[in-house]
Structure 1
Amino acid sequence: MSTDVIIGISVSCVALVLGLVVVGICAIRQKKRAERAIGLSRPFASWAPSGKDSGGAPQLKGARCFSFDELKKCTNNFSDSNEIGSGGYGKVYRGMLSDGQMVAIKRAQQGSMQGGLEFKTEIELLSRVHHKNVVGLLGFCFEQGEQMLVYEFMPNGTLRESLSGRSGIHLDWKRRLRITLGSARGLAYLHELANPPIIHRDVKSANILLDEHLTAKVADFGLSKLVADSGKGHVSSQVKGTPGYLDPEYYTTHQLTEKSDVYSFGVVMLELITARQPIEKGKYIVREVRLMMDKNDEEHYGLRELMDRSIQNSGTLTGFGRFLELALQCVEESAADRPTMSELVKAIETILQNDGMNTNSTSASSSATEFAASKGAPKHPYNDGLPKKEVNDSTGAFDYSGGYAVSAKIEPK
């Protein structure tokens, strides 16, 4: 064949190959667009082992799947007026469902979205948690590129807000004992009765919410860990949590146990006595209590100047000495020296029973009249505290604040 014919054939072959490559690239792009469209219309397709849609949302205990349009409508298009909390993860909105039920909707922002498998794991975990002292998950939304969790609404916000005086709710000593008992029961349930057991890993007063009767409920499982291997006794984990509440043993060994939650809860108990944040003006609440404690003072144990003024002059404080002893046991340096949450529950129940109070209900108020009369308490003498800072919190977890907007100045440095 002549040279011109050979060149013509070669050019034609190259053109054909290039054409096939272009067609292939276009086909791949078209396939990806189709897969994205399917993902938006069938968000649970990726959850099935085979990668095919198994017929809708997975069956979860007590949690339902909400549509994006339904949640958009009940929050008035996620209006600013319905925003009740925010953080690194996203925002929380107050909403009212079509049946009149108030809910709190935690909406992830685009930069902090989890993968489908991680989101599935979280909601399956939360859907298995059912206890009157743990905030309940009502459902979720996973469509149109959105990830939202729908919780029961807690109208009286966080324990931190009540202790700071911002909520206007007065917590007398007996109410504080009941809040302690309720939140301890919630944590004991997570540690011993949940299947598999759960370590909260971020126990603090800002994650204990109060319902309309001031019943305490543990919230925010953004940092929680499952104890899958109970024989091991601990979970090796990167240290995460809030400064001031962190278990020093967990911080140094990176071995997370249920006793890490116990340490954090002991700090909360000291907050209930002092109303101060764990670290305030460079002073650590655990160290300050230990330095000032005087067992020869049978009334205030040397802590009168540290105590919250709203209980400082309220007369006899039922079981105050025993309560203080328990709190200090919880914050022992060695986890082996701390009680379990169930042991703590029994001890708090004994304090209440010795004073003739009913421990079957952990509500901090026995009647609506009593609760209504507690509103309008004087402002708390302490300031709003120091800016919040999380330790290695790559998840961007944040606090659902119940019925009140959370100030950026809640947790200490």
Structure 2
Amino acid sequence: MARRSGSADLPLHGGRVPAWLGQRMARLGAVVAEAIVHHYGRDEFLRRLAHPFWFQSFGAVMGMDWHSSGITTSVIGALKRGLAPLSGELGLHVCGGRGRHSRQTPLELATIGARVGFDGAALAQASRLVAKVDSAAVQDGFELYLHGFIVADDGNWVVVQQGMREETRYARRYHWLSEGLKDFVEAPHAAIDGESRGEIVNLTDRRAAPSRARQLDLLRDLGPDGILRALPALDATKPPPAQLELPHLVMPAHHDVRPKDVMLRRLHGALAAAADRGPADFAELLLVPGVGARTVRSLALVAEVVHGAPCRFADPARFSLAHGGKDRHPFPVPLKVYDQTITTLKTAVAQAKLGQDERLEALRRLDAQARRLERAVDGPSFADHIAEERARSHDYGGRSVFGWEPPPGETEKQQRARKTR
């Protein structure tokens, strides 16, 4: 049983994720998955992956470009690498990927099924059907090039796949969840996210059932050649019936994070909670060396990714304020902060596995405090917050695809000299 759960329209970006970021994304993605499974169970992690707004926020908090199509590829890749060593413990397996990796999905499912006991052949068939629905039954002009299949030991699964439309320079991501799907052909989608870009032929709509039946009749009665001869007689001017609107996430084309992309009161709540809970929970309770105020601010946003309700992820750009972005938007990735975030989370999860939940519970309290405070607190303007991050970027180990961030005030000549040393 499965259903389409949503989709997203994202500007196409080229380039690769640098190794220094990809390795960290794998580690952070894995430990966030562990925390969610610990608190809420494996099925809830699958539900999160099937939510397009959460998925985008998850990628943004890991330092990937906050709005780009590359989030899909990089998150699937990071989870595939990060969860592989934990598959026996968590019972989660990531198959497929981009291009040729997507075509390996059936073989991977069969191999894992033989090892853990689910029906790999049946899931391979589900994988093919999901791809066919999004490429043929729903003809929206996006050609699929990525297919990620995340499956649990009990056979529950989520599919995240993506298509591109070269003429518009946009990609569309589709999410499926095995929970609740009654039919692959009729209304499998709980939602489709994407900006309207013309009429879509949607043969999975319930109202298209007569059309699907008539197509089969035509094929039986006329055959392919007869259908081709009949096409000129069709009335092409008759407008198609109105289709149901589905929820959608649309990310803008601009690279920089702008104030309108962020719910400022929620950002202020996270900042205030970090200042308020930080000294009590992280210096006295977590006792992780090196956890400073800046790391706690990142942890507040990571905690929301772990504990937040779906309505909390309407502004994925806000989560890029945890660890910046590889393209320097909203600021370079602060590697010292990033590494400390991973260390703190891994320590908390390791303790929780031993029955000592206090450290993970500190993250839950941090998230709860942020929600309480956002109703009342104020804080810096968005521009001031970004300016402070950029000013401190060198101290935080700031890095982007353009290189390391120089110390404040360093001239171009000094930068060149430093790079040659």
Question: Is the shorter-chain TM-score for this pair beyond 0.5, marking a shared fold?
Answer: no
Pairwise TM-score range, normalised by the shorter structure: under 0.3
Greater C-alpha Rg: 1
TM-score (norm 2): 0.26
